[in-house]
Structure 1
Amino acid sequence: MIEEINKALQILKTGGLILYPTDTVWGIGCDATNEEAVNKVYKLKERVDSKALICLVADDRMLKKYVKNIPAVALNIIDVTDKPTTIIYDEAQNLASNLIAENGTIAIRIPDDEFCFQLCRRLNGAIVSTSANISGFPTPNSFKEIQPAILKGVDYVVNLQREKICSKPSSIIKLSNSGVVKIIRE
């Protein structure tokens, strides 16, 4: 796994795209602070950049780097949830501007996956994590279902967990600073 982390890090640090297994589905990733790399993700997915992307961070400490005010309930949700949960936060900061939604929000997940944790930790930053499909097409459940255009469009394909059948995408919860909680995707 160390060798795969090192190879993926090299690509991320130079503004490239990786295809990697996450705690949910196979994802297309890049350095979440690199605007050009984020543009490449939108282009590869043929997705309009007004549709926000999810980021992964290693832990609560890293989360604080990208969210100005983390509602207390967010940390409770992260601690008690038993399935992958992405939270949409108000007041995103220190990320590529084209990654932050027009209303200033950002969707972030702390993955329960050693590879993703180590990759974020070693990059010392957030990584984009969007499903490995062209917009409008189904999310692939396994590596074998990933479209050839996606495989050719990334700079590196992580050589781990290729036989794994992926679970469904994460749950998504919107937490506003005003205390409103809204379930976007269960």
Structure 2
Amino acid sequence: MAEFIRIYEENPNPKAIEKVVAVLKRGGLIIYPTDTVYGLGCDITNIKALERVARIKQVKLEKANFSFVCHDLSNLSDYVKQIDTTTFKILKRALPGPYTFVLPGGKSLPNPFKKRKTVGIRVPNNNIALDIVKRLGNPIISTSIHDEDEVLEYTTDPELILEKWSNLVDLVIDGGYGDNEASTVIDLSEDEPIILREGKGSLEIF
């Protein structure tokens, strides 16, 4: 049975954040709020936890399209290749915000992702998610939690999320109702930006 913890986005309680980080550090899986839909996440450095997420999503870890949730742009240099000024300006304008940017993968990616040419990077505009990553000291892997019911493509109510995911994860954060629109996904790994999915983030950042 997953632990259920209420955290307020306006002013996340440091003790509650510590509790979440402790779960991540011991290889636990969490469901947490972002500025879009609720996400399923784990510590990017914990291979066993990454494998658990891949099993839940029924994908091979090496091929999984998980996003890296970072605290700010200073985290990026660890996981992406050198990015040019134009790309950096776009990121600076858009983040934190409801975007996933696909960027060329760097050399220090965690083992399962070493062969990846690109990685998806998120810096959500949500204090709970940002505080968790900051306190943990490295990104968390993230993937949206879909609902089988197409009308409810994303579950927005934390209590319903707990009901459904309680046996699969270690902790569910109640950060209030989530959004039901996913992030806008933009590929910046080539010369021209490519919109892979139009979501919550406006395209007026270019």
Q: TM-score range by the shorter chain?
A: 0.7 to 0.9
- Aligned mates of 1:47, 1:134 — CA distance in 2: 17
* Bigger Rg over Cα: 2
TM-score using structure 1 length: 0.85
1:94 aligns with 2:89: no
- The unaligned stretches of length 5 or more in structure 2 are 1-12, 199-206
1:23 aligned onto 2:1: no
The residue that corresponds to 2:51 in the other structure is 39
- Counterpart position of 1:159: 174
- Alpha-carbon distance, 1:91 to partner: 2.2
Cα distance, 1:136 vs structure 2: 9.4
Alignment partners' CA distance in 2, 1:47 and 1:146: 21
Paired residues for 1:44-123 under 5 Å: 44-49=56-61, 50-81=63-94, 83-98=97-112, 100=113, 103-123=116-136
Among residues 197, 200, 205, which one is paired with 1:185 in the alignment? 197
1:13 corresponds to which residue? 25
* Paired AA for residue 102 in structure 2: I
Structure 1's 39 and 160: CA in aligned 2 closer, same or farther, altered over 3 A? same
Paired with 2:148 and 2:57, the residues of 1 have a C-alpha distance of 6
Deviations 1:96-124 (A, max 9, x none): 333x3854211011111111111111111
C-alpha separation between the residues in 2 aligned to 1:157 and 1:146? Answer: 8
Q: Is the 8 A contact 1:4 1:158 kept in 2?
A: no
What SS does the corresponding residue of 1:87 show, helix, strand or coil? Answer: strand
Name which of structure 1's ranges 142-151 and 152-161 shifts more when overlaid on structure 2: 142-151
Partner Cα separation in structure 2 for residue 96 and residue 151 of structure 1: 28
- Percent of pairs with identical residues: 30
Contact 1:25 1:169 in 2 (8 A): yes
Task: Classify the secondary structure of the residue corresponding to 1:16.
Answer: coil
Shift of 1:151: 2.7
Distance in 2 (CA, whole Å) between partners of 1:41 and 1:121 is: 21
Query: Could you state the TM-score of these two structures normalised by the residue count of structure 2?
Result: 0.77
**TM-superposed deviation, 1:128:** 1.1
CA RMSD of aligned residues (A): 2.5
Task: Please report how far the alpha carbon of residue 157 of structure 1 lies from its aligned counterpart in structure 2 after TM superposition.
Answer: 1.3
- Structure 2 vs 1, CA of residues 117 and 35 (structure 1 numbering), >3 Å: closer, same or farther? same
C-alpha displacement of 1:146: 2.9
| Paired positions, count | 182
Q: Distance in 2 between matches of 1:146 and 1:166?
A: 13
